[in-house]
Structure 1
Amino acid sequence: MSIVWYYDFISPFAWLQWPKIKALAAEHPITLRPILLAGILDLCGQKGPAEIPAKREFTYRYTLWRARQAGVTLNFPPSHPFNPLAALRLCIAAGSSGAATEAIFDWIWGHGRAGDSIEALAPVAAALGIDDPVAAIADPAVKAQLRENFDAAVAEGVFGVPTLSIDGRLFWGDDAHEFALACLRDPSLWNEPEMQRVAALPIGAARQA
């Protein structure tokens, strides 16, 4: 079985799902793949929730409410959206490990600190044992791995983060986690007749680009 979690540190919903991913990883091996959400949005011709003013305000309020409901500490960074490239590359430089993912998420969303530059993330890098973080995130191998992660996401059809891929079946968003677990326990759920019917439902009308 292949289980992959695609995420970007820019997403508060990824932070909310992270405790559930850790719990799942205790039972099943999970590949952690940090990716650049902006690239996925560009490819799909979409705007992120934070790029639509009314949706941005609602999303921030809703995220806070969901965090409280789940008992998860959530503190927004000084500005959002922010450029997450340094955070993504730092994670990869640290091996895309659970410890690195945890440390970066906790810095940005647990403590509400900036994650938009390697200078801002220097304390995290030090805690992860990276002595020269500027050089680490500039390493061509790190940049290539981030691109490979993106290409893998595109190949799977990922359209947002966080996304949990279970044998190629995509479960988008923290709120889809229970659905993912249900399908993990009973893979036949995905292919029930009604599930198949709605997946192939004809499009009745489409907006012109």
Structure 2
Amino acid sequence: MAEATGQRRADWFFDFISPFAYLQWQALKRFPGIEMACRPVLFAGLLSHLSHKGPAEIPAKRLFTYRHAQWRADRAGIPMAFPPAHPFNPLAALRLCIAAGSGTDAVDAIFDHVWREGRAAETFEDLAPVAAKLGIDDAGALAQGAVKQALRENFDAAVQAGVFGVPTLVVDGELFWGEDATAMFEDYLADPGLFATDAMRRLASLPVATARRGI
């Protein structure tokens, strides 16, 4: 981010499919004192890697998740409108972001297109208005090998870091998952010893009493 001082670095793994990533972005894009690396990643890839279902794949959870996101937006006074259909295939949006440099302007413009304006984002044609704003007028830019490789590298980095969902902030090897963990992330930046208390240290070695068997 242009406004960052560079004294500390965090990686932000996100997917444009996530309304909570859009909500968290509203705080992160103004976050002072840290170099924020925006790293688009395919959420569906993480789900497949972990053999896990997304919230939209469980009917009751899907409705609750959508309501919860809209409620949090309304409560925070953040304009938000769901796109015409959800979930959608975000691959074109992720590649556009990378082709445009994955900077603040690109992330902001694509999030606004999808979640502030409530517009479709599955194809280059859907994204053409925002792509033009970012100086990209050819769908071929999204198919370049370097763009695909960068997206793959983001995914590999997310897996290596232990990321299991989006959005996730990673700083000093610590994971902060979800928009509602933003305050926890802030507290950690202010006090890197946050997880060094006796109560916090105990959690890392807490035994498992029972495990769910295969279904």
Could you tell me the TM-score, scaled by structure 2's length? 0.94
2:136 maps to what in 1? 130
Correspondences of 1:46-125 after superposition (within 5 Å): 46-125=52-131
Correspondences of 1:178-193 after superposition (within 5 Å): 178-193=183-198
2:20 maps to what in 1? 13
Work out the CA distance in 1 between the residues paired with 2:90 and 2:29.
22
Q: Tell me the CA shift for residue 191 of structure 1.
A: 1.7
Q: Tell me the CA shift for residue 69 of structure 1.
A: 1.1
1:40 aligns with 2:63: no
Q: Tell me the CA shift for residue 131 of structure 1.
A: 2.3
RMSD over aligned Cα, in angstroms?
A: 0.8
Q: Tell me the CA shift for residue 198 of structure 1.
A: 1.4
Cα contact 2:128–2:137 (8 A) shared by 1: no
Secondary structure at the residue paired with 2:89? coil
1:151 aligns with 2:156: yes
Work out the CA distance in 1 between the residues paired with 2:106 and 2:9.
21
Work out the CA distance in 1 between the residues paired with 2:10 and 2:195.
16
Task: Encode CA deviations 1:175-196: one digit per residue, 9 max, x unaligned.
Answer: 0000110011000011211111
Task: Encode CA deviations 1:91-113: one digit per residue, 9 max, x unaligned.
Answer: 00000011000000000000000
User: Any unmatched runs of 5+ in structure 2?
Assistant: 1-7
User: Any unmatched runs of 5+ in structure 1?
Assistant: none
Cα contact 2:9–2:34 (8 A) shared by 1: no
Secondary structure at the residue paired with 2:38? strand
- Aligned partner of 1:116: which letter? E
- Among candidates 186, 202, 205, match of residue 200 of structure 1: 205
- Aligned partner of 2:58: which letter? I
Q: Tell me the CA shift for residue 199 of structure 1.
A: 2.2
Could you tell me the TM-score, scaled by structure 1's length? 0.97
Secondary structure at the residue paired with 1:23? coil
Give the count of matched residue pairs.
207
Secondary structure at the residue paired with 1:3? strand
- Aligned partner of 1:175: which letter? D
Q: Tell me the CA shift for residue 166 of structure 1.
A: 1.2
> Which 4+ stretches in 1 moved above 6 angstroms?
none
